[in-house]
Amino acid sequence: EAGVAQSPRYKIIEKRQSVAFWCNPISGHATLYWYQQILGQGPKLLIQFQNNGVVDDSQLPKDRFSAERLKGVDSTLKIQPAKLEDSAVYLCASSFGTGGWEQYFGPGTRLTVT
């Protein structure tokens, strides 16, 4: 069974530029998550989708971050414009459903903003 796929793996941009990350969840998983992990910290949930609807985006900085999950499968996370403090690893995860289902994580995208 293929795992959660993410691209790119690494990205370096200058502040005020824009960037987009892509995630393809495990086949059949209805729930998709984007996390931000700053160096030395645990991951923090940015947004959670159930199929193509948003369940929780309470910690998403909506003035610069956006995410979509068209057709309820793969998803993109965009940052525009980027700030220095956005330097982090962005992790995508998926699960069969909400509640007690296990979450499976992708390899992450390491973003460096200079």
Partner 1 sequence: KQEVTQIPAALSVPEGENLVLNCSFTDSAIYNLQWFRQDPGKGLTSLLLIQSSQREQTSGRLNASLDKSSGRSTLYIAASQPGDSATYLCAVKDTGFQKLVFGTGTRLLVSP
Binding region for partner 1 (CB under 8 A) = 6, 33, 40-45, 48, 55-56, 91, 93, 98-100, 102-108, 110
CB of 32 to partner 1, least distance (A): 13
CB of 101 to partner 1, least distance (A): 9
CB of 57 to partner 1, least distance (A): 11
Cβ proximity to partner 1, 18 vs 98, nearer residue? 98
Cβ proximity to partner 1, 33 vs 65, nearer residue? 33
Cβ proximity to partner 1, 20 vs 45, nearer residue? 45
The set of residues, in sequence order, having a beta carbon less than 8 Å from that of 23 and lying 6+ positions away, is 4, 5, 6, 32, 34, 74, 75, 76, 77, 92, 106
DSSP, res 67: E
CA dihedral 48, 20, 10, 98 (to 10 degrees): 10
Beta strand 31-37 pairing with 19-24: unpaired
